[in-house]
Amino acid sequence: MISRISKWLVLTGLACLLLSCGNVEPEIVQLQGTTMGTYYTITLVLDAKQQKTEDLSQSKLKFAIDKKLELVNAQMSTYIPDSELSLFNQSKQSFVVSKATAFVVNSALKIYKQSQGAYDITVGPLVNLWGFGPDKRPTKVPSAGLIARQKLRVGGQYLTVQGTTLQKAIPDLYIDLSSIAKGYGVDVISEYLQSLGINNYLVDIGGELRAQGMKPKNKRWTLAIERPTVGKNVEQVIHIGDNAIATSGDYRNYYEFNGIRYSHTIDPNTGKPITHKLASVTVINKSCMLADAYATAITVLGPKVGLDFAKKHQLAVFLIVKKGDKFIESYTDAFKMYLVQEDL
Ligand code: ADP
Ligand code: MG
């Protein structure tokens, strides 16, 4: 009899453990702030033990995250006059930067080569000329002469990285990492959370995101690709798994002169904003830095060459092309697995 009761106790004890009797529900924490001229929203899930850990309190986490993002800005921002990147831009020949900046520049140079110059971080002088950099917006469209003059300063072939030294072959070379630094920032924060033992999170900096794990109750992080219109309309619902996602498009950051739309993505070949009908490019990749840069690269390449490029490099890419007042979708085979078919 006694043994039967004790066996029963052990069994209910075990069941209790498995079902976590007196269980503390996982807690969702959301941290918000601003960085890199945009917002950030970090959503993370803390288990019972983590909820009691002083170092994982909301204020401590937010403080540490802000510090990490400030560091990325101090390294890679063209909006901060004494950032590493700005000091390199002001130098005439070479400048020693952090490992982080060298890593991002090296990664950008790889995509420069892969995209045969369509993606080019030395396009900065043209970005600024068209009013999408730290300088003021122009009051008229830049003249052909001005464009030609700035184009002379542009070219990834003039930039080399040796260890952590960035070198320029022409003194006026100027780098702009706006197309990649946000994605890199998302990776930095994701890896930081991971290092704290937080395995369930969604990091979002200005629409570049990285997801890991699940929400409580085994719910997946459900994301949406926006329809490239004014307002927030959903084009496609997706589940990205443990991956990052970045979108580039001409529908958020642009201005109009005399009815013509000027986008912040510059074709280094023409020295002008892109004019094709590719409205948005979404890339899913393990690395948010790469997703961010590839999304910009494909935006420059345009709908056809961009899609061919994505297929050639086996990238998971979703394109939205504007045709009249309709939007036409296309995507690579690698993207298919992330699409959520049914309405949620
Ligand atoms: P967002 O900032 O909206 O996420 P992107 O990631 O596409 O958009 O980055 C756009 C920025 O990239 C521009 O504002 C400009 O600073 C820079 N840029 C523009 N054209 C190019 C290009 N051809 N190659 C690399 N960077 C570019
Ligand atoms: Mg980008």
CB-ligand 1 contact for 265 (6 Å cutoff): yes
Ligand 1 site, residue 235, Cβ cutoff 6 A: no
| Long-range pairs of 293-297 with CB within 8 A, sequence gap ≥ 24 | 293/107, 293/108, 293/111, 293/119, 293/179, 293/180, 293/183, 294/111, 294/119, 294/246, 295/246, 295/247, 295/248, 296/119, 296/179, 296/180, 296/248, 296/265, 297/111, 297/114, 297/115, 297/118, 297/119
pLDDT in tens, 64-73: 999 999 999 9
Atom nearest to 293 CA in ligand 1? 6
Rounded percentage of the chain residues whose pLDDT exceeds 70: 92
pLDDT at 200: 98
Mean pLDDT calculated for residue range 248-272: 82
Range 172-198 average pLDDT: 98
Measured by CA distance, the residue closest to atom 17 of ligand 1 is 179
**Residue 69 near ligand 1, beta carbon < 6 Å:** no
- pLDDT reported for residue 277: 87
Residues with CB under 5 A from ligand 2 (ion): 179, 248, 292, 295-296
Global pTM reads 0.92
Q: Which residue has the higher pLDDT, 218 or 20?
A: 218
pLDDT at residue 313, as a whole number? 98
pLDDT bracket for residue 45 (50, 70, 90): very high
Does residue 157 have a pLDDT over 70? yes
Q: Is 180 in the pocket of ligand 1 (CB under 6 A)?
A: no
Domains of the chain as residue ranges with CATH: 27-75+180-340 (3.10.520.10), 83-168 (1.10.3980.10)
pLDDT given for residue 227 in this prediction: 87
Q: What is the mean pLDDT of the chain?
A: 91
Q: What is the pLDDT of residues 229-250, one digit of tens each?
A: 777 789 999 999 999 999 998 6
Q: Rounding to the nearest 10 degrees, give the CA dihedral for residues 125, 130, 131, 133.
A: -30
